[in-house]
Amino acid sequence: NHNERPQATAIGLAVIHGISLPPGVFGGTAIDDLFLNRTGLSSEEKPELLALVGLRVSSHFLITRRARLVQYVAVGRRAWHAGESVFEGKQDCNNFSIGIELEGTDDQPYEPRQIELLAALLSELSQHIPSLSTV
């Protein structure tokens, strides 16, 4: 669920999403299953994931509720995390962004350790990717 970035495309944006699969459930393998195309395994056990079968998405990084950092896609590659998107007039944010998922929901606070790890990750990325300027 990734491919080459377009040539001469600078990474300038970090896109941060919240994710939990099934919704509101933390831990387990469902996020890994989704990003690694194993959704058939989870959907048999969890019918609410049936709509995700065959969906091809990924992210560069996931920060779990327990503040574990997982990398799915190399930073130099284009992860399929932003879908049809536009940022500051530029189409297809996947081309010029890093995708970071935080395990969580819109209606519950993220864990302080997740936020600390996110800040550390963004700091590290910005040291290696000077063009990364927007979160």
CATH code of the domain in which 83 resides: 3.40.80.10
Q: So what's the pLDDT on residue 47?
A: 67
Three-class SS state of 102: strand
Residue 133 lies in a domain: no
Residue whose C-alpha is closest to residue 79's, from 60, 92, 96, 62:
60
Residue 135 lies in a domain: no
Q: So what's the pLDDT on residue 135?
A: 78
Report how many domains make up the chain. 1
Q: So what's the pLDDT on residue 7?
A: 94
Residue 8 lies in a domain: yes
Residue 65 has pLDDT above 90, yes or no: yes
Q: So what's the pLDDT on residue 55?
A: 74
> 101, 103, 116, 124: which one is catalytic?
101
Q: Which domain holds residue 58?
A: 2-128
The yes-or-no answer on residue 111 being catalytic is no
The answer to whether 70 touches 64, Cβ cutoff 8 Å, is yes
Residue 79 lies in a domain: yes
Q: So what's the pLDDT on residue 39?
A: 63
Residue 116 lies in a domain: yes
Q: So what's the pLDDT on residue 48?
A: 67
Question: Which tens digit of pLDDT belongs to each residue from 74-129?
Answer: 999 999 999 899 999 999 999 999 999 999 999 999 999 999 999 999 999 999 99
**Residue 71 burial (CB count, 10 A):** 11
Please give the model's pTM, rounded to 2 decimal places: 0.91
Cα 70 from chain centre: 10
Q: So what's the pLDDT on residue 134?
A: 87
Question: Which tens digit of pLDDT belongs to each residue from 18-63?
Answer: 999 888 999 988 899 889 987 665 555 566 666 677 778 999 999 9
